[in-house]
Chains A and B, each alone.
Chain A
Amino acid sequence: MQIPENLRFTASHEWVAGPEDGVVTVGVTDYAQDQLGDVVFVELPEVGSEVAAGDAVAVVESVKTASDIYAPVAGSIEAVNDELVDTPERINEGPYEAGWLFRIRVADAAAVAALLDAAGYRRVVEDEA
Chain B
Amino acid sequence: MKRTPLYDTHIALGGRMVDFAGWAMPVHYPSGIQQEHIAVRSDVGIFDVSHMGEIRVLGEDATAFLRFATLNDPGRLKLGRGQYNMLPNDRGGLIDDLYVYREKDDEYLVVANAANVDAVLAQLRAVAEAYRCHVVDESATWALLALQGPGSALLLGRVIQDDLTQLRKNATLTTTLSGCPVRVSRTGYTGEDGFELFCHPNDAAIVWDVLTDAGALPCGLGARDTLRLEAGFPLYGHELDATTNPLCTEFDWVVKDKPFFGRDAMWGAACERRLVGLRMTDRGIPRQGYQVFREGVPIGNVTSGTLSPLTRESIAFAWIDASAADEGTEIAVEIRGQQVGATVVKPPFFG
Q: Contacts of A40 on B, CB cut-off 8 Å?
A: 34, 285, 307, 309
Q: Quick check: B32 and A37 within 8 Å, CB to CB? A: yes
Residues of B within 8 A of A63 (CB): 33-34, 222, 226, 306-307, 309
Please state if A37 and B16 are interface contacts (CB–CB under 8 Å). Answer: yes
Cross-chain contact B287 with A66 (CB below 8 angstroms): yes
Inter-chain CA distance A92–B28, complex, in Å, is 15
Contact string, A32-44, partner B, CB cutoff 8 A, digits 1/0? 0000011011010
Asked if B69 lies at the interface with its beta carbon under 8 angstroms from chain A, I say no
Chain B interface helix/strand/loop/mixed = mixed
- The 8 lowest CB-CB distance pairs between A and B, nearest first, are A63-B33, A38-B32, A40-B307, A38-B34, A41-B285, A61-B285, A38-B33, A64-B222
Which residues from 19 to 64 on chain B have a C-beta closer than 8 Å to any C-beta of chain A?
A: 27-28, 32-34
In the complex, besides A37-B32, A63-B309, 8 extra interface pairs with C-beta distance below 8 angstroms are A40-B307, A40-B309, A63-B226, A63-B307, A64-B27, A64-B33, A64-B306, A92-B32
CA–CA, A92 to B31, complex, Å?
12
Interface size on A, as a range, is 10 to 19
- A59 nearest in chain B by CB position: B336
Which A residues are in CB contact (< 8 Å) with B307?
Answer: 40-41, 61, 63
B16's nearest neighbour on chain A, judged by CB, is A37
Task: Give 30 CB contacts A-B under 8 Å.
Answer: A37-B16, A37-B27, A37-B28, A37-B222, A38-B32, A38-B33, A40-B34, A40-B285, A40-B309, A41-B284, A41-B285, A41-B307, A43-B336, A59-B336, A61-B285, A63-B33, A63-B222, A63-B226, A63-B306, A63-B307, A63-B309, A64-B27, A64-B33, A64-B222, A64-B225, A64-B306, A65-B287, A66-B285, A66-B287, A92-B32
Q: Shortest beta-carbon distance, B73 to chain A, in Å?
A: 37
Q: Which of A40, A43, A66 has the most CB of B within 10 A?
A: A40
Say which size band chain B's interface belongs to. Answer: 10 to 19
List the B side residues contacting A92 at CB < 8 Å: 32
Instruction: Report how far A60 CA is from B265 CA in the complex, Å.
Output: 44
User: How far is A64 from B309 in the complex, measured between Cα atoms in Å?
Assistant: 11
Kindly list chain A residues whose C-beta atoms are within 8 Å of the C-beta of B309. Answer: 40, 63
* Complex contacts, B225 vs chain A, CB 8 Å: 64
Once bound together, how far apart are the Cα atoms of A5 and B306, in whole Å?
36
Binary contact track A68-106/B, C-beta < 8 Å → 1, others 0: 000000000000000000000000100000000000000
CB distance from A126 to the nearest CB of B (A): 18
Q: Nearest CB to that of B221 among chain A residues?
A: A64
In the complex, chain A residues whose CB is within 8 Å of the CB of B306: 63-64
Give B284-310 as 1s and 0s: 1 = Cβ < 8 Å from A's Cβ atoms: 110100000000000000000011010
User: B27: nearest residue on chain A (CB-CB)?
Assistant: A64
Q: Which residues of B contact A61 (CB under 8 A)?
A: 285, 307
Nearest chain A CB to B45 CB, angstrom units: 15
State the CA gap A17–B306 with chains docked (Å).
32
Q: B279: shortest Cβ distance to chain A, in Å? A: 15
Name the distance in Å between A14's Cβ and chain B's nearest Cβ. Answer: 18
Within 8 A of B (CB), among A22-63: 37-38, 40-41, 43, 59, 61-63
Q: Which residues of B contact A41 (CB under 8 A)?
A: 284-285, 307
